[in-house]
Amino acid sequence: MSAHARPAGARAPVTVPRLHEMKAAGEKIVALTAYDASFAALCDAAGVDVVLVGDSLGMVVQGHASTLPVTVDDMVYHTAAVARGVRTALLVADLPFLSFRDADTALRSSARLLAEGGAAMVKLEGADYVLEAIAALARRSIPVCAHLGLTPQSVHKLGGYRVQGKTKPAAERLLADARAVQDAGADLLVLECVPAALAGRIRSELAIPTIGIGAGADCDGQVLVLYDMLGITSGKRPKFSKDFLAGRGSVLEAIRAYAEAVRGGAFPAAEHAF
């Protein structure tokens, strides 16, 4: 066996085309955040498909009140650490606040996350002017995950962490934005804090996979903040999360339980949706 051959039964690395195949086949995509090599290795060992280095690290790791203080340097540092722990999961890294304010800035920021951090895909919030950045990245073969609904970098504009798309006009705008990010070249879409019925409609109308967080069970996959699903986040846990560590003997067991619950349709349940 060559030095690069996989052992029999070993999982093949998850790729962007593989995520699209999973959507087509109706296989649920399991995603979790991670911010260091140790937790990343546990996510990988548990069979998580996508590991996201979220700018949520500003809150759960750095202790800030929002994600806004996170810098590109912070993201490169944590992405590189996570990359050392990941073997088969697809590694996605957030572009932090104002690091994609125009296409050129988005390209420079993304180049660092891929070249220095080892990411395979970047995630960025919003539509509107962001479409230009998505298109510029896609033209240069940089995979993009879009993020709509509750976009934490817009917390001041939104007036807090609130469910989005609740009225008919707001739902239509969100659906239009979802089509727009797909048309601009996004390969994946995260929907956060969106009514479950709307998220299901978006999933059915898009060709790209949708990953929900507080968006009901009808998305193509689910993502949670690792610290939330382990029950170690300080303060009140989000409604859409669940403590998978409770009653289990290890973090690895908790992550495996989460993965099984997502793939089997047990999570999210009705109480985790809006």
Task: With H, G, I as helix, E, B as strand and everything else as coil, classify residue 144.
Answer: strand
Which two structure tokens, joined as six digits, stand for 62?
């750095």
Q: Which of 186, 254, 226 is nearest to 78 (CA)?
A: 226
Q: What are phi and psi of 153, to 5 degrees?
A: -70, -15
Of how many residues is the chain composed?
A: 274
Q: Summarize the confidence of residues 225-246 as an average pLDDT.
A: 93
Q: Summarize the confidence of residues 14-30 as an average pLDDT.
A: 98
pLDDT at position 161: 78
Domains identified in the chain and CATH numbers: 16-264 (3.20.20.60)
Catalytic residue among 116, 125, 172, 192: 192
Q: Check if 192 is active-site.
A: yes
Query: Cα torsion at 213, 216, 219, 221 (round to 10°)?
Result: 50
- Cβ atoms of 61 and 50 within 8 Å: the answer is no
pLDDT at position 157: 80
Give tens-digit pLDDT for 174-199: 999 999 999 999 999 999 999 999 99
Which two structure tokens, joined as six digits, stand for 142?
């940089």
Q: What is the mean pLDDT of the chain?
A: 95
